[in-house]
Structure 1
Amino acid sequence: MKSDHDQRRRATLLKYTRFVMIAYGITQVATLVARQLGLSSVHYSEILGVSALSLGISLAFIILIQLKKTLTPGFTRFVFFGQFVVWLVMYAVWLLVLRETRVMALFFGLMALTFTLSNTQLIQSLAITVSTCIIQIAVSFFAIYTLKQPGSFAMEVFYTLCFLPSALFICGLSGQYATQRTAIKEAKRAAELNSDALVMEMDKVRQINAELEKAFGRIEELAIRDELTGLYNRRYLMDALEREKKRADRTGRLFSIIMLDIDHFKRVNDTYGHLQGDAVLKAVAKAVQAAFRVNDFCARYGGEEFMVVLDEVVPDGRVLCTERMRLAVESLSFPEIADGFQVTVSLGYTQYQRMEVVAQTIARADAALYRAKSTGRNRVEFA
């Protein structure tokens, strides 16, 4: 923002200085033409000297503007009024060189209009115009009555008063232009502020959306998880089994399921209470999770029953998988419940057969689990 403001201010000052420089050049060229036509007695060396001085000062201002890193309001006023002072000095020098009141009046009026057009402050423009008229009348009086130059002082006053309305009109145009430019700047600044505010609001919206996505993600996770054990719930399990079925039917890679039930769990609840029963459920779930592979997953099927879904198990690997889970649970200890208290699980294992209904696969695993419980518990049966 600050850099853009400096660039705009630099461009304005350079444009103004070039404008003044052109006005100086026009005056010098007009004087040179008058000398060629024999309308002025000023020497070429005097014309070239004054031209070089005025143009050199303008070039110095241009270089100074280009080299200045930060353009402050004070520096801007220095450039404007510095040129104004140079103009007054040039006017005095030109008067001494030309010694012709009428030419000086034209030069003076031209430069006054130049500074008035370049300025954007109405009060300053009016001050320049009024001071120009006063100085012109004073210089005319000095030239006619002191330097004895030819001319009528009354006519000079009349010409100056004729110049005044035009200068005031230009002051009005300059002030109107300044007002419009200020309005444009304010509108642009307001647009930039609105743009910044919009960007901030968009950032807030993006942040809110990100938080909403996280919240929805947590909600979705809660919707598919069992609150007590942290395992997947039955709804997610059934959807996952349907996906596994489609994949197996398409690729031929058959999955397996294990139905797992905690032995005598009702006795745990009846003897030690439901809080201790919940602790057993969580401990068993954690042990089973630690026992299966990365691509496998476990869900709470209902009550004290769990189901583990295994991704393509070789025939020799099924015993290893199921025994690892059974032993993991058997090795658990619960000193907070009772000394020597342990739990065991019974497991029923089966493999999905292509094109069968998922319910058939579950029924086979459930039947294998029933056999395991009927034949002594804490064992595995295959179907």
Structure 2
Amino acid sequence: MSSDYRRVLGFVALLLGLAATLPAPRQALTGWLAAFVLQSATVLGGLLFIMLVDVIPGIWRNIVRPPAAMLAAGMPLLAVFCLPVLFGIRLIFPWYNGEGLTGFRAFYLAPLAVAARLIVFFAICIWLQTRLSRAPNRPLAAAALIVFVLLDGLFATDVVLSLDPQFHSSGFGLYFLSVQALTAFSAIILIRFLLSPPDARQRSLMGALFLTLLLSWAYFDFMQYFILWSGNLPARADWFLRRSGGVWSVLVLIVIILRLGPAFLLLFPPIRQSGRGLRLFAALTLAGSLAEVAWLVIPELESPTWAIVIYLVTSAGMALLTSVSLAQARTELARVGKERP
């Protein structure tokens, strides 16, 4: 499919998502928010891996950095995808009018404060992406990695956790970061095979990293559930109860299978070194992220059907437009590589 064709299809899908705000504004905007959160996982995860490979030396830099730089190049486009969330903040988030919020929580979840944090976050990420994509910069990457983890935790709180202002979790930022890293690395694997098929040693390394990220996700996900659920506090238990009935119980089972199934199979070296297996597991993991983000965001609605439809449509649109930026980033990386001595 040509870039122009993908661009047109992407714009049409996003226009359909925006048009759906007329008959059902909150459902449509919540679906858009979920699609934005999913897209942010690959783009922000790409920036995360750029910083990691610049800080931690090794042969994985040549394997991971080019695909990660291509993913991170979608940062300006991701900021544009955030605009409907900012303009629809009154309809999406229940804390907009401040009802039931007191003290620091009322100050932190003030609409202007949330909007300001999102704007500052994307300004910093775009600047970092621009600087780090040019060439490795270890001192900057080391400092930026610390700042990014802290700001990304605030981002996760603002766009996901605050959908229920009565629910809070100190470990949610790290759990969300594990989702981003796993989603981005799955995309990195697929892009790596498109750029140049890795050899057996590189495949083994990618498989080992993939397994590590899958197990890290399982740890952060389960520990958050175990600690919060065992606390048996109403606000925390209600958050999980809304996500444990009906279609959501099926969805969470699908997520677990799509995560732990590949993790188990990657324990075996022949499978870990298989190019076909890595591509299959990466695709399954991305499908798991699609389901997991829906499970995180959409259950806050009483009638989620319309939001799920918009989520799927706008996710496809964002993916198509981002794929165009990936192709442009690939061309730019090739040009820069030829210019370097």
**Which is richer in strand?**
1
Same fold flag (TM > 0.5): no
**Which is richer in helix?**
2
Higher CA-based Rg = 1
Q: If the length of structure 1 is used for normalisation, what is the TM-score? A: 0.25
